[in-house]
Structure 1
Amino acid sequence: MLRPESVAAAPGQRGKAQRSRPQGAPHDGPAAARVIVSVSAVLLLGVFVYLLWRYARLPLWQAAICALFGYLLAASSLGPGIADGLQSLARFISGLHL
């Protein structure tokens, strides 16, 4: 939420207010793209695990162990490397002209 002091008139422009970005607000850039890819990958893998559970009779406890393993792997020192690899793969796929 913007506070009144964060809206200020730009120098030389009367009547036009310029809004400054609040501290911690998301911005476009590599981090924003990484979040989009991460959410997409999580949703895609979540649907895949659900389909395996539903149709391939994957036991729920095995799916839970896989989810726990993924969570712990992301928190380990390998997490950033895996995220960078997935980001590179997403850039490669988006650059393909089929």
Structure 2
Amino acid sequence: MQVQTLGLHGLQCPTPASAHYLVKVLCSMPNLTDLTLAREAYTGEVFNEEFYSALKAKASSIQGCFPQIRKGNFRLNGDAQDDLNSFLDTLTCLQRSVQYM
């Protein structure tokens, strides 16, 4: 896939399986350089904890996920990610914000 920029706003994953399917799709986009995971402006809905947990697990276990991070050319929610660790830290922060809502 040639997708470089992707914005997902208030997307819900009502089951653990749907969260895992979305993660699988995201991790299969080798040209993705700019990912925005945002809350829905009108409803305030955010991705659930299962989604963030699955994304962290997949990204940390498969070296092929998000290859642009390793090239220093990846933005998550507008913030540059220097390496995989900064990406995983950002996901952890996003996951915590969901837990406290």
Give TM-score, length-normalised by structure 2.
0.28
The structure with the largest alpha-carbon Rg is 1
Structure showing the higher strand proportion among its residues: 2
Give TM-score, length-normalised by structure 1.
0.29
Structure showing the higher helix proportion among its residues: 1
Which structure's relative contact order is higher, taking Cα pairs within 8 Å and 6+ residues apart? 2
